[in-house]
Structure 1
Amino acid sequence: MPSFTLLRNARITRTHKIAVAVLATAGATTALTVTASPGDAQATSSAHAPAAVKPVSANGLPAKAQTGKSADSTSAVSSVADTLKVTAVGKQHSAQQAAERKAAAPKQYKNNLDGWIRQSLDIMESKGIPGSYNGLHRNIMRESSGNPNAVNNWDINAINGIPSKGLLQVIQPTFDTYHVKGTPHKLTDPIANITAAANYAAHRYGSIDNVNSAY
């Protein structure tokens, strides 16, 4: 009896082992079948397929990215050009305004011999009276040494009661005849004296530049 029981147990154990082996074999076969399935193979192939190669430009960047860069560059250049244009227009406008202000503002002259000569020259130019800085300065220094209140009390004019006065030693009748409109009507005024004398010299000698002695 005991021997039969052991034999039976031994048979059952071997049967279980065989069953397990069969099941294992079947499982492996099933696994192989599943792995070899065309659908699964395709899915696996698709999952591990390399990414599609994108076209690139000459500098190695993707064509789309390169196009975007070109567009951005063109936009940047256009923006810079517009900025420069606005700046140039602004500068031109500012320069024009400055010129208009300068033209509108009266010119300033120093209250000395240099300033008197320069102001007289501007008036002479506007009136068409010839003469140069050198011609005026040279004659002024000879006649009055640059003193606008100089008076000659010894020559024939002084004897006749009409002494020569001012920077260019002009007598009153001559001053009245050749006085330049727009200047003070005063014989000893520096500007009025110079322009009247230059006007007189232009009529008699062609220009104050041609005067080299008493006139």
Structure 2
Amino acid sequence: MSESSIPGRRRRLNKTQKLSAAAISAVAAASLSFSLVPANAEGKPKAQTPEAAAPVVLTSVAGTPQAKALQASLIGQHTTAEKLVKAADLARAKQAAAVEAKAKAAAKVKAAAAAKAEAVAEKRTGTQAASRSEVRTPVYANNLDGWIREALDIMKSRGIPGSYNGLHRNIMRESSGNPNAINGWDINARNGVPSIGLLQIIKPTFDAYHVPGTAFSQYDPVANLTAAANYAADRYGSIDNVNSAY
């Protein structure tokens, strides 16, 4: 059941209906003011006296052309105002969207520039680090002194004890500094595993004590020295403690 169909309940009016009602009331009031003044035969209004006053007749003006015209005018003005408000809201929304899009574009450009700068910085840092690494990397001579010094650096990085003197002393006794020296007459040779290299190490011992990062060959000077020093450290505490065949 609609609200207007319930007796005694006043129907709520929207803004347009209120404006229309106001217009009708205005027209009604104007018409009423004219209907209250009677006219004579010539159409001129005449003074009223209590005795001669004619009955007052109220005429409904809601449907008159004047009321309809005023109502249409007010509705048109209201519609125009609503359109102007909507247009203003739309313009503000478009402006806000444009500002937001511009801000996002600026942020994107800034982020891209920052990423590029970071990449350039990382590349520069990597290049500088590589250059410093190349400067720090020692160059060893390809001779007995260079082999001993390289072996000592590797031993130090692996925690294998030993000194330059300890290595050199044992090298001179075992091979006289010849990395290709082979013992072909001792018990190891007779068993098929001759002692080879600077510190005359046999194959099973070399394989067991080989130091990662060095060549896997008994004839390689550095690999031979580090494996033999690793074995001596395990067996005697250090290559420095070896003063005879081991």
Give 1:204 deviation, angstroms: 0.3
**Aligned structure 1 segments of 4 or more residues deviating by more than 6 angstroms:** 97-100
The counterpart of 2:152, out of the listed 101, 108, 121, is: 121
Partner of 1:199: 230
Partner of 1:166: 197
1:188 and 2:219 are equivalent in the alignment: yes
Rounded to whole Å, the distance in 1 between the matches of 2:214 and 2:178 is 19
Give 1:104 deviation, angstroms: 3.5
Rounded to whole Å, the distance in 2 between the matches of 1:172 and 1:187 is 7
What CA deviation, in whole Å up to 9, does each residue of 1:41-71 have, x standing for no partner?
xxxxxxxxxxxxxxxxxxxxxxxxxxxxxxx
Partner of 2:184: 153
TM value normalised by structure 1: 0.53
Rounded to whole Å, the distance in 2 between the matches of 1:102 and 1:114 is 25
Rounded to whole Å, the distance in 2 between the matches of 1:99 and 1:111 is 27
**Equivalences for residues 1-215 of structure 1 within 5 A:** 101-105=131-135, 106-215=137-246
Q: Which amino acid aligns with 1:171?
A: I
- Among the aligned pairs, what percent are the same residue? 72
CA RMSD of aligned residues (A): 1.8
Q: Which amino acid aligns with 1:208?
A: I
What CA deviation, in whole Å up to 9, does each residue of 1:111-139 have, x standing for no partner?
00000000000000000000000000000
Query: SS state of the match for residue 243, structure 2?
Result: coil
Rounded to whole Å, the distance in 2 between the matches of 1:179 and 1:209 is 19
Structure number with the higher helix fraction is 1
Rounded to whole Å, the distance in 2 between the matches of 1:132 and 1:169 is 18
Q: Which amino acid aligns with 1:103?
A: S
Rounded to whole Å, the distance in 2 between the matches of 1:130 and 1:175 is 17
Rounded to whole Å, the distance in 1 between the matches of 2:194 and 2:181 is 10
Rounded to whole Å, the distance in 1 between the matches of 2:168 and 2:128 is 33
Give 1:99 deviation, angstroms: 9.5
Unaligned segments of structure 1, at least 5 residues: 1-96
What CA deviation, in whole Å up to 9, does each residue of 1:84-127 have, x standing for no partner?
xxxxxxxxxxxxx9998443443200000000000000000000
State how many pairs are aligned: 119
Unaligned segments of structure 2, at least 5 residues: 1-126
Query: SS state of the match for residue 161, structure 1?
Result: coil
